[in-house]
Amino acid sequence: MAIRKIINESDETLRKISKPVVDFDDRLFELIEDMKDTLAKAEGAGLAAVQVGVLKRLFVMHAGKEERECINPSIIKQDGINKIKVEACLSVPGKCGYVERPEKVWVEYQDRTGKKIQKKFTGFEAKCFCHELDHLDGILYIDRATKMFKDRDEYAKEQGKQKKDNSKSDASKSKNTKSEK
Ligand code: CO
């Protein structure tokens, strides 16, 4: 087990299309274990093989209770609009942005033994799955972002503004309710 180096957005490798995994062997297991360690150390939610410079169609994610290894993943069906707007990426350090993703995805992938698994993910796990799947096709979330924040401070400011707006409308709502009474 080892921590691998995560490449960043300036590296052209991130723009390449990853190839399907065909050998479910010790080398693959080692890669998966390294990716899990690397993800945990970076405190991220997901990590695709291409982010450690390996052009294979697999990613690991830890976006819910369980840690998952998704090999040769695909989305079969999707539905709704995810309530979580903000997104970030270990290969785009510091920044974050708004990306629209489905609320629910029905997916298929293989585990490390090659066994096919079908799952339905919702919320943050659905969002993470879509983000990681994009990596395998050379797409970064910054390509899809409707709004980008240069750092966490800028995002926090935006959040604060929204909260203020929300409480304003809440206040006017409660006022209305009162006057109705
Ligand atoms: Co990413």
The enclosing domain of 88 has a CATH number of 3.90.45.10
Q: Cα(60)–Cα(17) distance, rounded to whole angstroms?
A: 17
pLDDT for the residue numbered 180: 42
> What is the Å distance from ligand 1's center to 139 Cα?
9
Catalytic residue among 33, 132, 154, 180: 132
> What is the Å distance from ligand 1's center to 163 Cα?
27
pLDDT for the residue numbered 46: 98
pTM score: 0.89
What's the pLDDT band for 59 if we cut at 50, 70, 90?
Answer: very high
Residue 132 falls in the annotated catalytic set: yes
> What is the Å distance from ligand 1's center to 83 Cα?
19
Domain that includes residue 121, residue range: 12-150
Query: Is 167 inside any structural domain?
Result: no
pLDDT for the residue numbered 165: 80
Number of domains in the chain: 1
Query: Is 76 inside any structural domain?
Result: yes
> What is the Å distance from ligand 1's center to 46 Cα?
7
CB crowding 41-71: b at 16 or more within 10 Å, else e: eeebbbbbbbbbebebbbbbbbbeeeebbbb
Query: Is 162 inside any structural domain?
Result: no
Query: Is 179 inside any structural domain?
Result: no
> What is the Å distance from ligand 1's center to 170 Cα?
35
Lowest mean pLDDT among 7-16, 75-84, 160-169: 160-169
Q: Is the dihedral of CA 55, 57, 58, 63 positive or negative?
A: positive
Query: Is 164 inside any structural domain?
Result: no
What mean pLDDT is reported for the chain? 92
What's the pLDDT band for 162 if we cut at 50, 70, 90?
Answer: confident
